């Protein structure tokens, strides 16, 4: 079994933007790549909803699909138009996984995304 510090350093230094939220999508943790890609530092982002990243051009149906999968304890992945702190728009390839406790209740969400703007 690896010590917790190894997990922490690995997640911190991952090349993907990684965030952990509470069940209402409020950000509890974001790694260094999250700051690099979104432009939001730790001090800006903790406590805000992930919707801060939305460019508000993604159709409602996409979010409805996302939340119905997540509420059904299924992971969701897809592409969204996101906005950096500076206002630049980028295409995010995002994957969200519900994290369950021992009673099967959602306690957190794990979000991982990368900027795929260049690939389009
Ligand atoms: P909202 O009013 O927040 O929601 C739109 C619809 O989603 C509503 O109809 C509502 O019923 C449903 N909904 C919202 N929150 C919940 C909830 N907690 N439980 C059940 N249903 C809910 N969005 C992005 O645009 N870009 C991202 O990079 C991004 N990353 C995310 C990462 C994680 C880990 C999670 C959990 C969510 C992420 N989201 C992201 C989704 C984000 O939280 C918002 O739901 C979304 O941006 C829409 O925000 P809104 O304010 O436009 O609409």
Cα distance between residue 38 and residue 89, in whole Å: 10
- For the whole model, what pTM was predicted? 0.94
* Residues 6 or more apart in contact with residue 103 via CB below 8 angstroms: none
Cα four-point dihedral sign 99, 25, 36, 54? positive
User: Does ligand 1 have an atom closer than 6 angstroms to the CB of 27?
Assistant: no
User: Does ligand 1 have an atom closer than 6 angstroms to the CB of 67?
Assistant: yes
* Predicted local confidence at residue 119, as pLDDT: 75
Q: Where are the domains of the chain?
A: 4-52+75-119
In terms of CATH, what superfamily is 4-52+75-119? Answer: PAS domain (3.30.450.20)
User: Residue 65 has which token pair?
Assistant: 């699909």
In the chain, what percentage of residues exceed pLDDT 90? 94
Cα distance between residue 74 and residue 72, in whole Å: 6
- Going from the Cα of 24 to the center of ligand 1, the distance in angstroms, rounded, reads 8
pLDDT in tens, 71-116: 999 999 999 999 999 999 999 999 999 999 999 999 999 999 999 9
């Amino acid at each position: 079994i690896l010590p917790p510090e190894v997990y922490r350093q690995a997640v911190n230094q991952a090349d993907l933007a990684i965030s952990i939220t509470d069940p209402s999508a409020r950000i509890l943790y974001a790694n260094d790549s999250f700051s690099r890609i979104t432009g939001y530092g730790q001090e800006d982002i903790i406590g805000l909803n992930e919707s801060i990243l939305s460019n508000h051009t993604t159709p409602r149906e996409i979010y409805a699909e996302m939340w119905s999968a997540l509420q059904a304890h299924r992971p969701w992945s897809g592409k969204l138009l996101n906005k950096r702190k500076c206002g630049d728009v980028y295409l995010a390839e995002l994957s969200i996984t519900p994290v369950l406790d021992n009673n099967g209740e959602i306690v957190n969400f794990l979000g991982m995304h990368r900027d795929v703007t260049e690939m389009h």
